[in-house]
């Protein structure tokens, strides 16, 4: 029992390290992910490299795959471009097990000590670096504990007989699939095999089918992420499963040849296991990398649906237009219009989540907010270049107005994302608003949606009636928010609503009121620019 609990502790340490490392890396990358996406989608080979690098950094192909599905679901990358990233992620996953062969498990305390000191002692970028180093060390410390727990098994006749007698490849595949599906990390299943091989407890013929099964089992995380995504995310998850199953079947069909190749590559069984993991994923890459486009077309027929992609980078900002400031500002206005349209999508999606929160859709909203924020940065940078030209008074006024609009639209995105996070908190804590509170919130959301729609419409066509309607509606929002707050205080005093619901309800009202104010600002900027014409 001591060895069982020791081994279980090693698995727990590994999983905690992997999950926390992935989370820490994602926090660092979220601010820059829009930049990486730009390069990942240029060519399949770039996507392949992106997937490899992402998995090496995350130390988890499951984390990279789940992130890719999230990006596809949010529309930041197309289904076709996601396929190369998946293939690259599978290659990158092989490095974790190679670290085991390189005896990283034995020096893991060094990483834990160094990372822990930096994490606890610093308050700047070194703190985050220390956290990542600590969790990287924890991954291999967990495997080191597993290695120590496995050492006594070399003296177990039952264990030795089990692996000596059981040679059925199909059974091995099912064992690897089940084990990886449970822990949702192929690295831990294959890492255990490498550790058993280091102890002389398992041979190549018994280990390779388990490796093949573990590669298929790692798709469980992707399938779970895809289930909560749109049709594009589901296609990506299913494609990942098809890739893995095809690779496993090919290797099983040529298993004797596969064994012979592995024995030629290395005399060490642990290293042969790592090569088996690597070569299976290379087989998948070689088979599919040149046929990604027809494969994507086939998958779109299997799972039909519109594949909507939101361009991460500006579509209309053209440096050639800088020679003509008036034309350049027309391009800026088109980009601002696109920014406003994205916010309409965000608000509609968030309104749905107020009633029924779904993690995948909530994540999509966060990705769209990143695109809106990126557009603001690009617009302001472009306007700065336009401002260096010879400008008329009217053009100077438009530059100031467009800069303010881009800022306000970005702020609207931040407020919508804040409401999205409040919806998540409400769902996680199973909080319910009172019927009166829900009705008040729906009415205010309805008015705010109309204000955003009017602000967006005015960016396309100016109508004085729309301006008047938006201004009046903004006053209605202010009045209704005050009345909702007063009603909430009365309900709270009469204990008709829970104490937990109050802060979330009040914060939502505050964000909605601020969105309405910012929409009103945009309406006034449009009115001002029209008055100056």
Most confident by average pLDDT, 39-48, 194-203, 217-226, 457-466: 457-466
Q: Residues 297-326: pLDDT tens digits?
A: 898 888 887 766 666 667 788 888 888 888
Q: Give the number of other Cβ atoms within 10 Å of residue 226's Cβ.
A: 28
What distances in angstroms separate CA 62 from CA 183, 190, 479, one per listed residue?
11, 14, 49
pLDDT (average), residues 210-214: 89
Task: Check pLDDT > 90 for residue 418.
Answer: yes
Where is pLDDT greater, at 376 or 10? 376
Helix (H, G, I), strand (E, B) or coil at 361: helix
Task: Check pLDDT > 60 for residue 164.
Answer: no
The region of weakest confidence among 87-91, 150-154, 527-531 is 150-154
For the chain, domains (ranges, CATH) are 2-302 (no CATH), 319-531 (1.20.58.220)
Category of 304 on φ-ψ map: left (φ > 0), alpha (ψ -120 to 50) or beta: beta
Q: What is the pLDDT of residue 390?
A: 81
Among 476, 459, 487, smallest CA distance to 517 is for 476
Mean pLDDT computed over every residue of the chain: 83
Q: What is the pLDDT of residue 250?
A: 92
The region of weakest confidence among 54-58, 165-169, 293-297 is 165-169
Where is pLDDT greater, at 157 or 142? 142
Beta-carbon contacts of 282 under 8 Å, excluding residues fewer than 6 positions away, are: 91
Q: What is the pLDDT of residue 144?
A: 80
Give CA–CA dist 89/87, Å, rounded.
Answer: 5
Q: Provide the angle, in degrees to the nearest 10, between the axes of the packed helices 204-217 and 169-183.
A: 40
Q: Given CA atoms 189, 97, 41, 25 in this order, what sign does their dihedral have?
A: positive
Q: pTM above 0.75?
A: no
C-beta of residue 109 within 8 angstroms of C-beta of residue 137? yes
C-beta of residue 307 within 8 angstroms of C-beta of residue 81? no
């Amino acid at each position: 029992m001591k060895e069982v609990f020791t081994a279980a502790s090693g698995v727990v340490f590994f999983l905690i390290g992997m999950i926390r490392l992935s989370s820490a890396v994602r926090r660092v990358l979220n601010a820059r992910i829009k930049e990486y996406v730009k390069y990942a989608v240029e060519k399949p080979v770039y996507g392949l490299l992106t997937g490899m690098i992402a998995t090496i950094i995350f130390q988890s192909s499951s984390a990279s795959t789940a992130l890719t599905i999230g990006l596809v679901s949010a529309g930041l990358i197309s289904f076709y471009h996601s396929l190369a990233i998946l293939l690259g992620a599978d290659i990158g996953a092989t490095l974790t097990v190679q670290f085991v062969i390189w005896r990283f498990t034995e020096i893991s305390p060094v990483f834990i000590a160094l990372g822990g000191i930096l994490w606890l002692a610093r308050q700047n970028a070194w703190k985050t670096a220390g956290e990542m180093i600590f969790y990287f060390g924890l991954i291999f410390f967990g495997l080191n504990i597993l290695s120590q727990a496995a050492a006594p098994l070399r003296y177990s006749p039952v264990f030795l007989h089990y692996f000596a007698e059981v040679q059925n490849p199909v059974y091995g595949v099912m064992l690897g699939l089940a084990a990886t599906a449970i822990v949702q990390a192929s690295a831990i299943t294959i890492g255990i095999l490498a550790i058993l091989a280091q102890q002389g407890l398992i041979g190549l013929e018994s280990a390779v089918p388990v490796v093949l099964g573990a590669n298929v089992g790692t798709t469980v995380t992707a399938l779970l992420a895809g289930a909560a995504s749109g049709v594009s995310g589901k296609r990506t998850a299913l494609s990942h499963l098809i890739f893995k199953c095809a690779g496993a079947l090919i290797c099983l069909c040529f298993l004797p040849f596969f064994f012979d190749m592995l024995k030629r590559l290395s005399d060490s069984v642990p290293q042969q296991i790592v090569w088996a993991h690597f070569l299976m994923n290379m087989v998948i890459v070689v088979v599919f990398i040149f046929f990604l486009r027809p494969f994507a077309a086939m998958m779109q027929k299997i799972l039909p649906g519109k594949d909507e992609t939101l361009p991460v980078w500006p579509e209309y900002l053209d440096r050639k237009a800088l020679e003509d400031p008036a034309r350049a500002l027309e391009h800026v206005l088109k980009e601002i219009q696109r920014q406003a349209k994205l916010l309409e999508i965000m608000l509609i999606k968030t309104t749905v989540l107020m009633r029924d929160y779904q993690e995948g859709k909530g994540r999509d909203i966060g990705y769209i907010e990143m695109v809106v924020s990126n557009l603001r940065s690009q617009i302001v940078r472009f306007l700065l270049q336009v401002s260096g030209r010879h400008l008329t008074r009217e053009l100077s006024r438009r530059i100031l107005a467009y800069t303010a609009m881009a800022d306000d639209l970005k702020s609207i995105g931040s407020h919508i994302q804040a409401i999205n996070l409040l919806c998540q908190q409400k769902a996680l804590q199973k909080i319910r608003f009172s019927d009166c509170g829900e009705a008040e919130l729906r009415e205010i959301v309805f008015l705010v949606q109309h204000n955003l729609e009017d602000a967006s419409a005015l960016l396309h066509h100016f109508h004085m009636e729309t301006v008047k309607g938006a201004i009046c509606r903004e006053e209605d929002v202010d009045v209704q928010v005050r009345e909702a707050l007063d009603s909430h205080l009365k309900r709270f005093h009469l204990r008709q609503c829970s104490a937990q619901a109050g802060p979330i309800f009040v914060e939502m009202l505050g964000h909605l009121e601020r969105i309405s104010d910012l929409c009103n600002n945009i309406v006034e900027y449009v009115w001002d620019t029209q008055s100056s014409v």
